Structure 1
Amino acid sequence: MGGKGTALPDPAWTRLTDVAGKDEAFVRDLFAQEGWSSLAGELGETEAYSFARRTALMWLRPDAFAAGVARQVLAAASEARYRPLAAVPVRLERCAVRALWAYMCRWATTERLLLLDALAALGPGLLVLWADNTGAPACERMTAVKGRNDPRRREPGTLRDIAGSPNRVLTMLHCADMPRT
């Protein structure tokens, strides 16, 4: 490109997240910009927003496999009326851990980051693309279905509850947050 190419297109970030301030973080996030550019380039802008509304991405983390609860989580997601569209084993290294949790890592301690690295190093997780069979915004509903990371504030029957997630670090799964397209 050499500076002569066009800039990556920015979507209306507020259509892709309800998390306060995250839309502003996306404006400066090269991974978010590049991801949107790839999706919109492949599907077209209108269909990219529609795809973002219909699908939810989940990383079933290595701690879920180590705890032997991965099958229960996948079954519970299906029972919650999600349909898997694709799945691929994914192993995250240190830089990918930082990229995945870049927004939340702004508040993390060094010890917490090292613990996330150690959890990711347990082995591969499973990245699953889900379609919501209810017609509701998939990520918005998945955010509720997965449950809170804090067990004291988690609703019974959520994916993290079913997985037996014991604390705010061993959460067994990660999902993208809710777009509101």
Structure 2
Amino acid sequence: MGIVNWSTLTRMPVKAYHYELDTCFREGYGEMSTAFGDRTTEILHRSALMLVKPDGMATGKLKAIRDFLEGHGFSIVGAELFRFNRHTGRELWRHQHTLASLDRLAVNDIVLQAGPSLMLLLRRRGGHSLPATVHLSSLKGKADITQQATDSLRSIIGRPNRLCSMIHCADEPADLVRELNLLADPEPRERLLARLADGAPGAADAAILDHVLHSGEFGGTVLDRDAAVQRIRQAVRERAAERPELAEPAGQVLAWLEGTDRGELLPWRKFAAVLAGLELDLDVWDVAMLGASHIQEDEPDGVKVIGNPPSGSWHT
């Protein structure tokens, strides 16, 4: 990997400590050093990475995201469709999900694996003292919905809850290095590195964006908790009527659902197992919304190994 100037990549010593031993960061930084040479620091300073997660794809948010990015000086220079699996979903947030409950991990699997995701590589126009990753992270808005600015990207796209967050951004240049290597296979990664070097999209990137925006494959899903619960409840009642031998587990599921109407949390892994035993053909987004709305998300005594960059850390 060679000598790394960590001050240009992160302002968090704990991140530097872990990433120095991280396979994806080490390989990614080596590839970027080879591809960019003495321009590596400059290109990383001007580049950012955003994911449109499956919930953002299903609800057709790319146009709003693209318009927001353009309005804030960011151009899309690379694009790649990919699918999360159980392992990539955990690896991407391995240093943050040390805080997450097991129920949150289970629901997150549903959300991330419900459909394709879109990786966007971005180039910021003009000069700016902050790295483009840090700048973009400040524009996306806070994770806590109650604290989001109305002009933040998260507020504009209308994410319904914390787990169905629709987008993810690399927080610092070090995260861009690691996440691109983790999520893109070698062949598309080589193409995407070339796009970062050139600062402009190629034909393949334009074709991917056109497909997402105009094929009709993405969009049309509405993430509504109340409607989701209503559809699940109706399906459970119909199954109990059709198959009396399933009346007992169906009744248990209905009792749990009634509890959510009173604000009670679901014992998600147990609930999901009983629900699966009913062999219902449910919309994956109805199940995802139910779980994302009614679970304990974090362990009471949990901690993140790596949190968010401290406010103002890049201003010094």
Q: Give the TM-score, by structure 1 length.
A: 0.87
1:95 matched residue in structure 2: 87
- 1:25-78: per-residue Cα shift (whole Å, max 9, x none)? 21221111111111112212x311111101000011111122232321221111
**Structure 1 residue runs of 4+, over 6 Å off?**
none
Q: How does 1:96-115 map to 2 (within 5 A)?
A: 96-115=88-107
1:86 matched residue in structure 2: 78
Please, which of 144, 148, 166 is the counterpart of residue 160 of structure 2?
A: 166
Higher strand share: 1
Matches of 2:153 and 2:54, distance apart in 1:
15
Matches of 2:12 and 2:115, distance apart in 1:
30
Matches of 2:52 and 2:171, distance apart in 1:
15
CA 167–14 in structure 1, closer or farther in 2 if over 3 Å, else same: farther
Please, which of 42, 64, 67 is the counterpart of residue 35 of structure 2?
A: 42
- Root-mean-square deviation (CA), in Å? 1.6
Matches of 1:97 and 1:10, distance apart in 2:
29
Matches of 1:102 and 1:12, distance apart in 2:
24
Matches of 2:169 and 2:4, distance apart in 1:
21
- Contact (CA 8 Å) 1:54, 1:132: kept in 2 or not? yes
Letter in 2 for 1:96: T
Letter in 1 for 2:22: D
**Secondary structure of 1:135's match?**
coil
| Fraction of identical pairs, as percent | 28
- 1:19: how far off? 4.0
- Contact (CA 8 Å) 1:70, 1:163: kept in 2 or not? no
**Secondary structure of 2:119's match?**
strand
Bigger relative contact order (CA 8 A; separation at least 6):
1
Q: Is 1:123 aligned with 2:115?
A: yes
Please, which of 138, 143, 153 is the counterpart of residue 144 of structure 1?
A: 138
Give the unaligned 5+ runs of structure 1. 1-7
- Contact (CA 8 Å) 1:147, 1:158: kept in 2 or not? yes
Letter in 1 for 2:28: G
Letter in 2 for 1:34: E
CA 168–20 in structure 1, closer or farther in 2 if over 3 Å, else same: farther
Matches of 1:108 and 1:15, distance apart in 2:
30
Higher helix share: 2
Larger-gyration structure (1/2): 2
Q: Give the TM-score, by structure 2 length.
A: 0.52
